[in-house]
Amino acid sequence: MAYILGEREFWGLTFKVTPAVLVPRPDSETLIEAALELLPDRRLPWRILDLGLGSGCLLISLLKEFPDASGVGLDASADALAVARGNALALGVADRATLVEGDWRQADWADRLGGPFDLVVSNPPYVEASVIDGLMPEVARYEPRMALDGGPDGLAAYRAIAASTSQLVKRGGFLAAEAGEGQSVEIARIFAAAGLTPKAPWKDLGGIERVVAASY
């Protein structure tokens, strides 16, 4: 329905969406809630990185909440970046958002991002590749597979991101990622193995441990 209407509300803002991006979901607002707790001073000039930008809903919402912050958004899809660029312009944060085409599955992907950052957020693909075709038809048939496919165990993106921690996250900074149901414990282990210190996970409105955050 969001693709038919061409838009979806997220964090009280209206985002344009096309089949090039995932439809923003209320569960992902838990990432915004976590970020606001991790960075309680909203007037500081934080530097924020969003990995897997999609529609831009995470980065743009954070830039609206942190009026003196700047952000970088990474996505492997040029079409997704075009959607995010339009949303950043429409919502008045384009001058504080740098959007970069890149893929964390490639070598040296983190070199072009200008890190490290105070906060890194991500809603990465976390669905096991073998179960995507069995998802609800409106997801499996219409949403971009690249934004869903997390590899054989659903955790490939978290490993790639954690492996580049020193380039991405400032000392004293934070990494916060959305998780699928039942994944939070293993994601916390991945982060800890990379030298991060995981925090207690944030739960969504359904009680699922939806965000795993860690300090560096």
User: Which CATH number describes the domain made up of 2-215?
Assistant: 3.40.50.150
CB burial of residue 1 (10 Å; 0-12, 13-18, 19+): exposed
- CA-to-CA distance for 211 and 205, rounded, in angstroms? 12
Residue keyed to tokens 């079409």:
79
What integer pLDDT is reported at residue 125 of this predicted model? 87
pTM for the full predicted model: 0.93
What integer pLDDT is reported at residue 147 of this predicted model? 66
DSSP state of 127: B
What integer pLDDT is reported at residue 66 of this predicted model? 98
- CA-to-CA distance for 171 and 119, rounded, in angstroms? 10
In degrees rounded to 5, what are phi and psi of residue 214? Answer: -150, 150
What integer pLDDT is reported at residue 2 of this predicted model? 87
What integer pLDDT is reported at residue 160 of this predicted model? 95
Q: Which of 39, 41, 59 is nearest to 49 (CA)?
A: 59
Strands 117-122 and 169-178: parallel
- CA-to-CA distance for 116 and 167, rounded, in angstroms? 5
- CA-to-CA distance for 189 and 193, rounded, in angstroms? 6
How big is the CA angle at 71 (ends 67 and 75), to the nearest 5 degrees? 140
Q: What is the pLDDT along the chain (216 residues), one digit of tens a residue?
A: 888 899 999 999 999 999 999 999 999 999 999 999 999 999 999 999 999 999 999 999 999 999 999 999 999 999 999 999 999 999 999 999 999 999 998 989 999 899 999 999 999 987 777 776 777 766 656 667 776 666 779 899 999 999 999 999 999 999 999 999 999 999 999 999 999 999 999 999 999 999 999 999
Domain ranges in the chain? 2-215
